[in-house]
Amino acid sequence: MGISILGTHHTKFGRLNKTLYDLIIESGRGAIEDAGIEAKDIDSIWVGNLSGGGFNNQEHIAPFTMNIHKDLRFTPATHVENACASGSAAIECAKQAIESGNSKIALVIGVEKMNDLDTKGVTKVLAMSSYWPDEGSKGITFPGLFAEYAKGYMKHYNYSLDKLRAILAKISAKNHTNAVENPLAQMPLKITAEEILNKPDEKNPIVYDPLRLFDCSLVTDGAAALVLTTSEIAKSIKNEVVEIAALSHTTDYLSIFKRSNYELTAGKLAVKKAFKKAGITLDDLDFAEVHDCFTINELLSYEALGIAPDGEGYRALDEGIVYPEGKLPVNLSGGLKAKGHPVGATGVSMAVLATRQLLGKAIGIQAKDAEIGLTFNVGGSAASNYALVFKRTK
């Protein structure tokens, strides 16, 4: 049974003058309208959200979706949490509900309102997605966890700090520049790697050595939503739809200190499984949206996808592969780095971006003649990993 995306919606990302509740209503209504169906046609709802309780004092968030439309009252609604991959987890649950026959048309919403808290508060809530006894409770933040990847990568592959900084600056500059074309992005900025490297310390301070401010994604408010159904139903409503050709989910140890700190081990497996399920290879992809919560993770994602050999992710940049005109553009939206990273919304945002790309209605830079795309979303310090392959069908 094929599962297709019938409708999408994506809010503006940034520091928004909107509540958590506003974002849920806007994205849900937008996706239903775009699907060309009525609210009463929805028979299950799945909400990806990391911590409405921590950020907004609102646990038990799923029942609020009844406020999207009066005809949704009594529809089963479930909150799904898997750290920064909560959105992809919600898609997985909706997909499985349809495949099992328990649902025909599902609404998936990813949402996070992070800016209700100050930086200290945000840091604390996010840290609860680490392994608290040995990481969060010891003051190790998420910049600190991903700094472990940066240090591990340098040590394992014998990279100097200057060499790694130059690579990460290219990733940051690429994504900020890509975001200039994205009207929904939080921080569009036309900038070069050289300009980032030459910034004085007060303009690009160390957040957690060796990662600097321009290596870190943003504190973001926003939401995205999808309507999922069987491909048969989708094609009866629309002439052209996007199918989820594969969804692969792998999980590793929660603590980064029990895993490799120089590669995304479980992420590599997730991508490998997704390619196999979809019956494709890397060469079939026309674009990818990957989880660049920190620039080091985009570098590791190049290697997880197989764009470049292990330890040589820089080649994806030096050979122009991942730029808009390259063989496999990565993060045409600006990525988490510049589009923004409302953590529970990110996986759904990626899926919306992929769908719009494949329909020729990109939010931002349009990939040329795109037929197949991939999203790669991780939760925590890459303990949870989701790889999804999307194909345009008629």
Distance CA 81, CA 92 (A): 12
The pLDDT tens digits of the residues spanning 107-122 come to: 999 999 999 999 999 9
If one counts every other C-beta atom within 10 angstroms of the C-beta of residue 165, the result is 21
pLDDT at 1: 81
pLDDT at 394: 75
* pLDDT (mean) for 199-205: 96
Model confidence at 346: pLDDT above 80: yes
- Percent with pLDDT over 90 in the chain: 99
* pLDDT (mean) for 235-253: 96
pLDDT at 385: 98
* Residue 52 · residue 134 · CB < 8 Å: no
Is the whole-model pTM more than 0.85? yes
The pLDDT tens digits of the residues spanning 40-50 come to: 999 999 999 99
Read off the tokens for 218.
């943003």
Tell me the residue type at 339: K
Model confidence at 82: pLDDT above 90: yes
pLDDT at 160: 98
The pLDDT tens digits of the residues spanning 89-146 come to: 999 999 999 999 999 999 999 999 999 999 999 999 999 999 999 999 999 999 999 9
Q: Could you list the active site residues?
A: 84, 341
pLDDT at 317: 98
pLDDT at 175: 98
pLDDT at 334: 98
* pLDDT (mean) for 9-31: 98
* Cα three-residue angle 390-76-62, rounded to 5 degrees: 80
* pLDDT (mean) for 181-198: 98
Tell me the residue type at 47: V
Model confidence at 265: pLDDT above 80: yes
Tell me the residue type at 239: N
Tell me the residue type at 321: I
Delineate the domains of the chain, giving CATH numbers in brackets: 3-118+219-237 (3.40.47.10)
- Percent with pLDDT over 70 in the chain: 100
Burial of 258 (0-12, 13-18, 19+ CB in 10 A): exposed
Distance CA 351, CA 289 (A): 9
20-219-45-245 Cα dihedral, nearest 10 degrees = 160
